Chain A
């Protein structure tokens, strides 16, 4: 299958290889959470809710009393994929993604400012169309910011792949299932540090560099967008206050 039309240069959904899907971010979508956000990358739609910092619920989980405990759970809604299939909760994939998100977010949260407390991040996938991992991280960043949790930097994530000898930004589900490599990158945007890097499949070294660079470009574009959303939100809150 041609994932990049050789005559028009467009991808199956009409994007160019280095274009991202349409983004949408919204904070404060879960009324009772301390912070929450909805994040969409095209048809991929996730909700993140943050509870905390609050008292540690289960003392046994506390590792270091000088730092806040960060916990994360990733869940797919039954209807989030084309195939409706009941999956057991806490399957391996979900556990792995939960872990990845937790570690990525932990890297940006100033945990030492909140000793003996815990922060829960819950991400719920409403629709999956490729790049759920990235969308969850972006949603979690927005939700943490909404909860007012101190962070070093904004973490954003984006994936890129390599199909038809072309590096492609932000793969959707069809492209993701094409069997090509899928590089997911998460960066601390201002510090320019990579906090998350995952890839499946094989890729020659020099191609990999190009693909990863493209993914980093994507992360930066998302960071710009996330800042806009937060700024917008702050302005709105300011207005409401007076």
Chain B
């Protein structure tokens, strides 16, 4: 909860009006981004992403499972978000459940596509081991350690980084003679399957404060928003998902405008993220 005085509110709104925000940023400028990979060695992939005062840890764990009957040729991915009370005393106990659920659903929508799995950011068919029998189940867990606004964008970025860090062990399957039996799976210790994360989108949230909209809002700024639109955009500039939050209505033309801005910003953010990932990987390799 951010408690602000009238003066502070005025100052924030005024700053956005003038294109110079309280921390000195312009409206379409990100805070400092830092990325670290492999922070949870027990996971198949993990990342820590800091965006200003917001800090996220994501882990990807892979387990062998059975594909669903509807999609025998696809693996399964689930995304869960948890907000630690270290980030905000309000998250204590069950206090974070609503927000966690909202973030989880938003991420699922942006990354996993529709019910059919079509349009998913992650190629689900690459997770299949034996069609109809064995597949990989990916569990993506996001943990908000420190929160200072723009959680969704930071979470999506962290997931992208964690997936690029993910190695799935190579498995050898020996199919036994009787076809109804469980196939035997042997896991290799050394070889890993790397993910192609180039198609994983980033999420850009445009927060509308007054007449203008800003990206990467801090908690203070978020407290002044009227509505926000989160757009997930992949490398090719395609829009993969969209969420509008906040009560106030928006003019459709404004939404189109926001989307095109988001698309533009996303390409910058994506290349920034790519270079950070490369740097983090280089560091981890050392």
On whether A and B touch (CB less than 8 Å), the answer reads yes
Stretch of B54-62, B249-257, B262-270 contacting A (4+ beta carbons < 8 Å): B54-62
A50 smallest CB distance to B (angstroms): 9
| Stretch with Cβ within 8 A of B (4 or more), from A1-9, A122-130, A187-195 | A122-130
A79–B62 alpha-carbon span in the complex (Å): 11
Q: Is the CB of A77 within 8 A of B86?
A: no
B246 CB–A CB distance under 8 Å: no
Q: Does A230 contact B (CB under 8 A)?
A: no
Contact partners of A79 in chain B: CB under 8 A: 40, 42-43, 46, 59, 61, 141, 143
Q: How far is the CB of B48 from chain A (nearest CB, A)?
A: 10
Residue contact A30 to B86, C-beta cutoff 8 Å = yes
**Is A75 an interface residue when CB atoms closer than 8 A count as contact?**
yes
A31-B55, A32-B148, A51-B89 known; A122 vs B84 contact (CB < 8 Å): yes
Assess whether A241 is interfacial by the CB under 8 Å rule: no
Chain B residues contacting A160 (CB-CB under 8 Å) are none
**A78 touching B145, Cβ below 8 Å:** no
Residue A108 interfacial (CB < 8 Å): no
How many A-B contacts if CB must be within 8 Å? 93
- Most-contacted residue by chain B among A32, A51, A77, A122 (CB, 10 A): A32
Within 8 Å CB of B93, what residues of A? 73, 89-90
Please, how many angstroms separate the alpha-carbon atoms of A90 and B148 in the complex? 25
Contacts of B143 in A (CB 8 A): 77-79, 124, 126
CB contact between A124 and one of B46, B59, B86 (< 8 Å): that residue: B86
- Bound-state CA distance A33–B54 (Å) is 11
Distance from B73 Cβ to chain A, minimum over Cβ atoms (Å): 24
Contact A31 B148 (CB under 8 A): yes
Q: Mark B72-99, 1 if CB is under 8 A from A, else 0.
A: 0000000010101111110011100000
Alpha-carbon distance A127/B46, docked complex (angstroms): 12
C-alpha spacing A47/B147, complex, angstroms: 14
- On B, residues with C-beta under 8 Å from A are 39-43, 46, 52-55, 57, 59, 61, 63, 80, 82, 84-89, 92-94, 139, 141, 143, 145-148, 219
How many residues from A make CB contacts under 8 Å with B? 29
> Given A51-B89, A73-B85, A122-B92, does the pair A78, B80 have CB atoms closer than 8 Å?
yes
Q: Are B148 and A75 in contact (CB under 8 A)?
A: no
Considering only CB atoms, which chain A residue lies closest to B41 in the complex?
Answer: A43
Q: A77-B82, A89-B93, A126-B39 are in contact. List 7 more A-B contacts (CB 8 A).
A: A31-B55, A32-B147, A48-B86, A78-B143, A79-B59, A79-B143, A123-B86
From known contacts A32-B53, A79-B46, A89-B94, infer whether A120 and B89 are also in contact, taking CB-CB under 8 Å: yes
The CA of A82 and the CA of B219, in the complex, are separated in Å by 34
Q: Tell me how far the C-beta of B163 lies from the nearest C-beta in chain A, rounded to whole angstroms.
A: 14
Q: For the complex, what is the distance from the CA of A29 to the CA of B84, rounded to whole Å? A: 14
User: Which 6 pairs across A and B sit closest by C-beta, in order of nearness?
Assistant: A31-B53, A49-B86, A79-B59, A122-B85, A30-B146, A78-B141
> Which residues on A are within 8 Å of B, measured CB to CB?
29-33, 36, 43, 47-49, 51, 57, 73, 75, 77-79, 81-82, 84, 86, 89-90, 120, 122-124, 126-127
Contacts of A33 in B (CB 8 A): 86, 146
A168 to chain B, nearest CB (A): 22
Q: Is the CB of B148 within 8 A of A82?
A: no
Chain B positions within 8 Å of A43 at CB level = 41-42
B146 contacts A75, C-beta separation under 8 Å: no
A77 CA / B42 CA spacing, docked (Å): 12
User: Within 8 Å CB of A47, what residues of B?
Assistant: 84, 86, 145
CA distance A57 to B90 in the complex (A): 10
Q: How far is the CA of A36 from the CA of B84 in the complex (A)?
A: 13
Give the Cβ gap from A117 to chain B, nearest Cβ, in Å.
13
CB of B46 to closest CB in A, whole Å: 7
CB of B53 within 8 A of CB of A77, answer no
Establish whether residues A30 and B145, one from each chain, have CB atoms under 8 Å apart when the complex forms.
yes
- A79 to B159: give the CA distance in the assembly, Å: 14
Give the complex CA separation of A12 and B134 in angstroms. Answer: 34
Q: Are B82 and A78 in contact (CB under 8 A)?
A: yes
Question: Are B141 and A75 neighbours in the complex by a CB distance under 8 Å?
Answer: no
Separation of A201 and B210 alpha carbons in the complex (Å): 64
Residues of A within 8 A of B42 (CB): 43, 79, 81-82, 127
Residue of A36, A57, A90 near B86 (CB, 8 A) is A36
- For the complex, give the distance between the alpha carbons of A88 and B43 in Å: 21
| Pairwise interchain contact A30-B43, C-beta atoms closer than 8 A | no
